[in-house]
Structure 1
Amino acid sequence: MEVDAPPPAAAGGAGADHAGKPTAGSGSHAAPGGTPGAASAPHADSSLHAPAAHHQYAKTPAELLPLFDPPSLDKLKAVGGIEQLAADLRTDLKAGLPTEARASSRHAALDVFGRNDLPEPRMHSLLDFAWDALQDRTLVVLIIAAFVDVAIGIYKAVSGQDRLGWLDGVAIVVAIIIIVGIASGNDYKKQGQFRKLNDFSRNLSVIGVVRHGESIVIPTRELVVGDVCQIETGVILPADGLLIKGYGISCDESSLTGESHACDKDPASEPFLLSGTKVVAGMGTMLVTAVGPNSLNGRSIAALNVEPEDTPLQKQLGKLADQIAKFGLISALGMVIVLVICYFAIKPPEPRSGVRIANDVVNILINGITLVVVAVPEGLPLAVTLSLAHATVRMLKDNNLVRHLQACETMSNATTICSDKTGTLTLNRMSVVQAYLFGKAYDRDQLAHAREQIPEKWLHLVARAVNVNSTATEKPGPNGDIEFVGNKTEVALLTWSGAVGRPYAQDREANRQLGMIPFSSETKRMSVAVQDANEPETPVWLFTKGAAELVVRSCSQYVGPDGEPRSMDADAIARCDAQINAFADESLRNIAVAYRRLAPEDVPQNEGDHLPSALSAQQLVLLGIFAIEDPVRPEVPGAVKTCQNAGIIVRMVTGDNLATAKSISRQCGILDEFGIALEGPVFRELTDEQLDIVLPRLQVLARSSPIDKQILVQKLRRRGETVAVTGDGTNDAPALKAANVGFSMGIAGTEVAKEASDIVLLDDNFSSLVRAVNWGRSVFDAIRKFLQFQLTVNITAVVLTITSSIYSTVSGERRPESVLTAIQLLWVNLLMDSFAALALALDPPTPEMLQRAPSRSNEALVSPVMWKMIIFQAVYQMVVCITLYFTGHHVIDLHGESHGGVDARVATLIFNIFVFCQVFNEINCRSITHDTNVFRGMFKNRIFLGIIIFTTGAQAIIVELGGRVFDTVELGGKGWGISIALGFGSLPLGWLVRQLP
């Protein structure tokens, strides 16, 4: 939620996207996904005792642990207090770790106190995944049956009946090994992809620290015991520590203690800061005393062994797979029963030996079990996982860090996006371009020459108000010059104050800070009380800056053109409002700066005290209003238009005033002539009946609070919308949680916002969010493509196997088996599950995906268009194969050794045609809509092309050289021509089906 006044921020942190937001002191800790079957981390106490180099420190982890378990002031006093503890840890409470031998000191701290990182879950080996795959009961039964077949074959070979009788069983076992191997390889690759995501997420998390008196930002993984860490509103504490000093620090410790209320922190009475808890108010510094598995949060996490949950789509597909598997099991069981009855009921021309009966019954069982293996669509969950793993890794390149996998799926159904303005729709490159100072307006040219037009004394007063009331800091730039880092609005103001000749460092050194009123989203302002550092008896100045229209209402006076305070009467307020609106019409942000003189006795004299907010709510004297420019990102209007073409409504939710919000939203293409723009307070008062009228046309919500954003999200969801929302502040967390998909900002976002979000926009750019929508649709389409392909194969394989098996038995032929043997069906199963999942699940997103309306969350996975394609393709394949089964030797005039009641070459031809139908249908399934161009983007998917080429080549080897193993014979040119021609028929058939209404 956007606001207009800056809060405290960690020095050196990345700036927020507007005034009033905390700077990003730390990044997101969580990452998407995980590895299957993650093993529990090593025991939490494994590093509590100091190993080598402990003699450099007066304390060990084991000695520091009792301070926080539970937190105890008596124990802290027993070790000499925080000052003595800092000395024991070889650090300084103000300057932090020393520069000299910094690297060696840090390595010593790592050796003794450990890294600020939890132990990685054990990487599973290929054998681990293979073992998991072999837990499938159907595969186990098939393996047992195959070994029985091997045993019978060996007996026949030894007895001289059939020297190669054992080959069929061995071939089935080898095929199972290949299937398990490929499935395990896919799982292993997926594990590696998720590990990369986890590593990236951990490196993204940063925190501000002081080392040798210099404020720097480091990855939280590099935090060591003894560091002086800067904390602020919105930070999730990355380690255990003690509060050195702070302004109004309050923490939400419910994640550890279960207490729902925030806990106020104080260096004297309550200095204990617990890792994993949220700073909900204030700013300060902390001495780090425990990191990684030695911290309270680390020990809690290390004790967990949580398996990653399936995503909603995985659960939905799991249920569908179970239903298909039941159908396959019932079909196979019915087939086995019918075959066994027919086998024993029909007398053969010649008596059967006991070995032959056993062999035939085993063959019947193997065919039945193989049919179950083929029918069970284990490739469905695999396709989801592969597609999600591929998408989440590729989305990193599009600046989307996916923290929760289901967000990818949900984005495919997004119908509305509620977006912040600053940094997301705009560049977040702020500069002061106009101003209203001392009762006079200054345009761009006039402001550039302010030093020539405004007395130096007055300018320095305004600059002082800016310099001392700021959380941004300065540091040496790459070229040796000074640059500011922190909140972007504050940086713009500090840059202006430097330009008028008032150095930031000079004011900070000349003024002693007595207290602070941190930024609040309710008051939209922040204030600081200062006094001359060398004259403790001089008056106290309370400087305030914040949202202009609100600060003006708190002013009883303003400084006029003569430099003297004048009454803020109705005419003066009207002039201020007119100037604010004039700036807003130019899409400029308004920040007012004011002051108040206080007697020393009216302000607490202890540095770090939290002042009552009432001090800045009245009797202020207005110095001026700054107009700050933040240009719209050039790519945003096009991205908004893309969303609208995709059936997604974009709404802008901002803390800016209504005029500024409307101006910028028009530039972005969000607000049109039919749209409605409201302010938060007005929106809050709408009744449900009014909301039903307003919500469909609501495009801009201005001057809104985080609560307004949360209410908007909840109301939209109740109307059946799938809502994506962006947020960067701590107070945006409820809205991010309430949305179907929450996007936090990787640059300007607070730690709390990132923890509450599903996806982190690493560049804070709206265009990256649109790419997330495209990836979401790509994932959903990939699953539907695979589903369309798999159901076609399942139906055809089951019907063809049952038909040929029953006919061969009833006709009294010597062997009751399917025209597609067990080993051939296992090859088809490999094509269907592993290879097809890889080929179809990894199609990249296309622009055409954003040219259609979003799917509804309750929409069936298999659409009517898909059902038409499945039925027509399955019927085509069944008609071709069954026709050849009964009349093949007449059609192609091929004669050879009999195989299961049909000529061996005809059986090979049917097997070849069946496989090539799947190869060409795989291409056909790249489209699940009425789009007839199934080749669009195909040549960009190298994996798809590789699988098509490999499948074709492998099939040729199987047919021509498979011989006894695959029960095939050479086909010759005529047979291959027929196979490819009939397989290719799937493509023109698909084109015709897509022409149907």
Structure 2
Amino acid sequence: MVRNHDTKSLSKNGGVEELAKKLSVSLSEGVTSSELPIREKIFGENRYAEKPARSFLMFVWEALQDITLIILMVCAVVSIAVGVATEGFPKGMYDGTGILLSILLVVMVTAISDYKQSLQFIDLDREKKKIIVQVTRDGNRQEISIHDLVVGDVVHLSIGDQVPADGIFISGYNLEIDESSLSGESEPSHVNKEKPFLLSGTKVQNGSAKMLVTTVGMRTEWGKLMETLVDGGEDETPLQVKLNGVATIIGKIGLSFAVLTFLVLCVRFVLEKARSGSFTKWSSEDALTLLDYFAISVTIIVVAVPEGLPLAVTLSLAFAMKKLMSDRALVRHLAACETMGSSTCICTDKTGTLTTNHMVVNKVWICDKIQERKEGNEESFELELQEEVKSILLQGIFQNTGSEVVKDKDGNTQILGSPTERAILEFGLLLGGDFVEQRKENKILKIEPFNSNKKKMSVLIALPDGGARALCKGASEIVLKMCENVVDSNGETVPLTEERITNLSDVIEGFASEALRTLCLVYKDVDEAPSGDLPDGGYTMVAVVGIKDPVRPGVREAVQTCQAAGITVRMVTGDNISTAKAIAKECGIFTEGGLAIEGSQFRDLPPHEMRAIIPKIQVMARSLPLDKHTLVSNLRKIGEVVSVTGDGTNDAPALHEADIGLAMGIAGTEVAKESADVIIMDDNFKTIVNVARWGRAVYINIQKFVQFQLTVNVVALIINFVSACIT
């Protein structure tokens, strides 16, 4: 039914309410904890079947595929055959057995390192799949792991959430689902009572809703898709290709010297036989002498081959991988570890990578005054407001929100919702407001949830004394145009004159220049609830809040480290250009002589102008995913080795296009992670710098070893050749 989006079957079965009864669940209370084991037994767990881990023997077989080792194995077999024939058993086996033991050592170290790395990868891969979902159980809203979800659970979805299982829409507002990960369709699908089906693995793009879980685990659409996926073989890394090339060339040189040595020895032997007059008389001793010459030739090949190279490469890479895992970087492809070392440019997101991704209200304009957040042991705001103004402000915060303030099992306050909503609710709590009391005081009559086109959200509440009040909040440039009045310094409502509009615009611009995201909180009293949409004008301005996502500690130093190492850091963000420039300056990315450009300007440039300004670009604001992809492809065309960070499904093209794709482990979607080479588990820019540092260390270590090994081998090869020919 869910798979085929069969609304007729759903209607025949009495809709979602009757379906809930058949599943023995209350849509308001959710499932009871005592039923969980039974439901898991009947309907299965919400887990996807994982491919069985590769056995240790598989890693041994892979280690044996190395060209250098294959050459040595052939030489060892030949050496044993010739040795037994010339010197007898067991003396003739010593040389060949020694070579085989050396090969065994290299293979075992390689296989053990790769096997341990594989086990660590599985553990970290399991960790990145830990997703928390909000459900109603036993009548309470609570957070649980996605793996603990059962059929019959009532799940709460909001913007940015991944749909955790297949299910049916119960209720919600303006729900839009991004199904591109399943269907490939870029346009969002609208889900409502008429089109109520939700599929696992898709993502909430807009709105909020409650859904009833009908299928979990491998029975979901995502589970069936996972069954069909077959992993392709791993490509050789650039370093492995180069080293195999070195091994092949050395093998050819060694073979040439071996053939030459054998020919010289044979010619000398034949000439000596001719000089002594015994050219026509050949004995078994002569045959053994020729076999001995052949053994010497084989020894020269063994001397020429750098047998320690596979071991050195493996140990260097395994050590780097292990260190990166402890530094919270999950390397999905070995090539990433190496290529990151030669990276010349990092195109990074702002939110969550350079910043903490925990929004806070940093400044607020209210009653003609600007107040700043006081930071200390207890963060607080000291606002001297009249009771009526404070009441309206708290109504605007606690009534007009898609988020909730709840108590967890330990009695601690938790704010559930988007980062911006959480920041505003946290601000309301700092002012001494009570979310539950506010919700009890006024009945909500109508809600218009936030969407990206209108850039505002509104709610209509009933007032205790009769009448209604429309509360609205949203992007400053849009909400300010809806206002006719403003609350002045005395707490009085006065007309919004041109002078006051200019002053407010200056305040908003001032906030934005400090990297603050501004929202306006406004209200309008009406006699009765409007039948259609909520009013679009006639509002009274109450407050302008400046919300900031603080820069992560250590980011500035990490950026300076990159710049000192010759890596250019560029910031690509969807934020406005003022905020982007302010954050980039704070991080040390935007410097004198650098260029900050908006995505719309960048994409309209002719190709020759675009290529001319790309080296100067340090900040790109208001960018679309296509802009990021264009920037990356053009940087690669001018010879840059580009690393890109991304967290959204729409970042997948840029992550794929880049030399190195870096996906965010916390904020990143599954699609972004699948397109990436490295997963940054803590979403921190400092971790990206560590990946580059270890990548360079790998190259330097292997370079040193190759120089040492080739010096030794060339000298040994010449000495063996000369001594064999002379003696």
TM-score by length of 1: 0.62
**Greater fraction strand:** 2
1:16 alignment counterpart: none
- Confirm or deny that 1:800 pairs with 2:726: no
Paired position in structure 1 for 2:97? 173
Match of 2:590 among 664, 667, 671: 671
What is the aligned counterpart of 1:148 among 68, 72, 81?
Answer: 81
Question: Retained in 1: the 8 A contact 2:463–2:469?
Answer: no
Question: By how many angstroms is 1:124 displaced?
Answer: 1.5
Which of 293, 302, 318 aligns to 2:244? It is 318
1:555 aligns with 2:485: no
Cα deviation digits, residues 366-388 of structure 1 (max 9, x gap):
44445445545576566555433
Work out which of the residue numbers 558, 570, 573 in structure 2 matches 1:639: 558
| Residues 573 and 366 of structure 1, relative CA distance in 2, 3 Å threshold | farther
> Relative to structure 1, is the Cα distance of residues 512 and 417 closer, same or farther in structure 2, using a 3 angstrom cutoff?
same
The residue matched to 2:531 in structure 1 has which SS?
A: helix
Residues 400 and 772, structure 1, Cα contact 8 Å, conserved in 2 = yes
CA offset digits 1:931-950 (Å, max 9, x no partner): xxxxxxxxxxxxxxxxxxxx
Give distance in 1, aligned partners of 2:558 and 2:63.
44
- Aligned equivalents of 2:153 and 2:282: distance in 1? 84
Counterpart mapping for 1:660-739 below 5 A: 660-688=579-607, 690-691=609-610, 694-739=613-658
Number of equivalences: 711
Tell me which residue corresponds to 1:209.
134
Q: Is the 8 Å Cα contact of residues 138 and 369 (structure 1) preserved in structure 2?
A: no
Query: Which of 415, 430, 433 in structure 2 is aligned with 1:499?
Result: 430
In structure 2, the CA distance between the partners of 1:565 and 1:774, relative to structure 1 (3 Å rule), is: same
1:355 and 1:225 map into 2 onto residues whose CA distance is 83
Q: C-alpha separation between the residues in 1 aligned to 2:599 and 2:324?
A: 34
Candidates 509, 515, 518, aligned match of 1:590? 518
CA contact (8 A) 2:165 2:215 kept: yes
Aligned ranges 1:604-643 → 2 under 5 Å: 622-643=541-562
Which residue, 692, 701, 704 being the options, matches 1:773? 692
Shift in Å at residue 578 of structure 1? 0.8
Deviation of the 1:176 alpha carbon: 0.8
Task: Please give the alpha-carbon distance, in whole angstroms, between the structure 1 residues aligned to 2:556 and 2:301.
Answer: 53
Structure 1 residues 359 and 582: alpha-carbon distance in aligned structure 2, compared to 1, 3 A threshold: same
Q: What's the % identity of the aligned pairs?
A: 35
Relative to 1, partners in 2 of residues 1:149 and 1:427: Cα closer, same or farther, differing over 3 Å? same
- After superposition, where does 1:89-100 map in structure 2 within 5 Å? 89=23, 91-100=25-34
Change (3 A) 1:96 1:712: farther
| Residue equivalent to 1:827 | none
Are 1:196 and 2:120 matched, yes or no?
yes
The correspondence of residues 9-28 of structure 1 with structure 2, limited to 5 A, is: none
Which residue is 2:385 aligned to?
Answer: 453
SS in 2 for 1:401: strand
Matches within 5 A, 1:226-625: 226-253=152-179, 255-257=181-183, 259-262=184-187, 264-266=189-191, 268-303=193-228, 304-340=230-266, 342-344=268-270, 346-347=272-273, 355-369=284-298, 371-372=300-301, 375=304, 383-437=312-366, 440-443=369-372, 448-450=381-383, 452-454=384-386, 456-476=387-407, 480-508=411-439, 510-512=442-444, 514-520=446-452, 525-532=455-462, 541=470, 543-546=472-475, 548-552=476-480, 554-561=481-488, 570-594=498-522, 600-603=530-533, 622-625=541-544
Q: Distance in 2 between matches of 1:572 and 1:331?
A: 90
Deviations 1:96-133 (A, max 9, x none): 4423365x45xx61686145032342432248615862
Within 5 Å, which residues of 2 pair with 1:752-901?
Answer: 752-808=671-727
The farther-off stretch of 568-577 and 763-772 is: 568-577
Letter in 1 for 2:501: I
Distance in 2, matches of 1:423 and 1:338, equals 69
Is the CA contact 1:99–1:211 (under 8 Å) kept in the aligned structure 2?
A: no
CA 1:387–1:438 in structure 2 vs 1: closer, same or farther (change >3 Å)?
same
Cα 1:180–1:360 change in 2 (3 A) is farther
Partners of 2:509 and 2:136 in 1: CA distance: 45
- Give the deviation of 1:687 after TM superposition: 4.6
Shift of 1:463: 2.5
Moved more, 79-88 or 626-635: 79-88
> Could you tell me which of 103, 120, 123 is aligned with 2:54?
123
* Cα distance in 1, alignment partners of residues 292 and 217 from structure 2: 58
Structure 2 portions without partners, runs of 5+: 375-379
CA contact (8 A) 2:354 2:685 kept: yes
Cα distance in structure 1, aligned partners of 2:423 and 2:221: 40
Q: CA deviation at 1:197?
A: 1.9
Distance 1:146 1:533 in 2: 97
Cα distance in structure 2, aligned partners of 1:305 and 1:544? 48
Q: 1:119 & 1:439 partners in 2: Cα distance?
A: 60
For residue 394 of structure 1, report the CA deviation from its aligned partner.
Answer: 1.4
Name the CA shift for 1:600/1:377 in 2 (closer, same or farther; >3 Å).
Answer: farther
Q: CA deviation at 1:691?
A: 4.3
Partners of 1:439 and 1:624 within 8 A in 2 = no
Q: Secondary structure at the match of 1:209?
A: strand
Deviation at 1:774, TM superposition (A): 0.8
CA RMSD for the aligned pairs? Answer: 4.1
Please report how far the alpha carbon of residue 626 of structure 1 lies from its aligned counterpart in structure 2 after TM superposition: 0.6
> Residues of 1 paired with 2:192 and 2:686: CA distance?
44
Counterpart amino acid of residue 317 in structure 1: L
Query: Which amino acid is the alignment partner of residue 308 of structure 1?
Result: E
Separation of aligned partners in 1, 2:339 and 2:614: 22
Classify 1:572/1:116 alpha carbon distance in 2 versus 1 (closer, same or farther; 3 Å): same
- More displaced stretch, 507-516 vs 575-584: 507-516
Q: Is the 8 A contact 1:680 1:703 kept in 2?
A: yes
Which digits, 9 at most, give the CA deviation of each residue in 1:152-191, with x for residues without a partner?
A: 36xx76xxxxxxx432325523541441343134223212
CA distance in 2, matches of 1:230, 1:322: 60
- Say if 1:209 and 1:229, in contact at 8 Å, map to a contact too: yes
> 2:14 & 2:309 partners in 1: Cα distance?
62
Does the Cα contact within 8 Å between 2:128 and 2:681 map onto a contact in 1? no
Whole-angstrom distance in 1 between the partners of 2:299 and 2:4 = 60
Asked if 2 retains the 8 angstrom alpha-carbon contact of 1:280 and 1:730, the reply is no
Counterparts of 2:664 and 2:609, CA distance in 1: 32
For residues 449 and 476 of structure 1, the distance between their equivalents in structure 2, rounded to whole angstroms, comes to: 25
Shift of 1:618: 7.1
Amino acid at match of 1:579: V
- Structure with larger RCO (C-alpha < 8 A, sep 6+): 1
